[in-house]
Structure 1
Amino acid sequence: MSHLPQDLHDVFPDDEALLRRLKAQDQHFRNLADRYATLDQEISQIGLALAPASDERTEDLKKQRLLVLDEIAAVVQAARRAA
């Protein structure tokens, strides 16, 4: 099982400037982005067999990452509409 880390700029390639602005100006978004990066890094470490984890733990982390990504997507979409 391998996992290639995905930066938010990979997930939202057309919103690079918006992501930078949100990270600079919105503490809630910055917290979400940091949480996403932490979860993605942990999943990547498990996928590369650098960190041990059960299948259950891995699936839990993936679910958490998806929930955070959904929240990030909602913030990005709202910021697009407001722009």
Structure 2
Amino acid sequence: MSHTPHELHEEFPDMADRITALKTSDAHFARLMDDYHAVNRQVHAAETNVTPVSPAAETDMRKERARLKDELYAMLTA
């Protein structure tokens, strides 16, 4: 598979050290990050027609990715 856009370290490059620290010290953050990356890969597969889905399903996946990203950002900036 090609490079997947929206990877968390690319979304928040100035917080790379904090992302790494929280991933190793906070199990909840690590789980959310894993969930984010799983949904992100699904969105990318849908966008590139590797795994075609309905427009509604793709929209739902994007909303879930945004929700997870918002929650991760809140933890990063807390």
For normalisation by structure 2, the TM-score amounts to: 0.92
Name the residue aligned to 1:62: 62
Secondary structure of the structure 2 residue equivalent to 1:52: coil
Q: How far apart in 2 are the matches of 1:42 and 1:51?
A: 8
Name the residue aligned to 2:16: 16
Q: How far apart in 1 are the matches of 2:37 and 2:70?
A: 14
**How far is the alpha carbon of 1:15 from its aligned partner?**
0.9
Q: How far apart in 1 are the matches of 2:65 and 2:15?
A: 20
Q: RMSD over aligned Cα, in angstroms?
A: 0.8
Amino acid of the structure 2 residue aligned with 1:37: H
Larger Rg: 1
Q: How far apart in 2 are the matches of 1:15 and 1:68?
A: 16
Q: How far apart in 1 are the matches of 2:7 and 2:49?
A: 20
Misfit runs of 4+, over 2 Å: none
Equivalenced residue count is 75
Structure 1: 5+ residue runs without aligned partners?
79-83
Secondary structure of the structure 2 residue equivalent to 1:76: helix
Q: How far apart in 2 are the matches of 1:41 and 1:13?
A: 19
Structure 2: 5+ residue runs without aligned partners?
none
Name the residue aligned to 1:75: 75
- Percentage of pairs with the same residue: 31
Secondary structure of the structure 2 residue equivalent to 1:62: helix
Q: 2:30 matched to 1:30?
A: yes
Secondary structure of the structure 2 residue equivalent to 1:39: helix
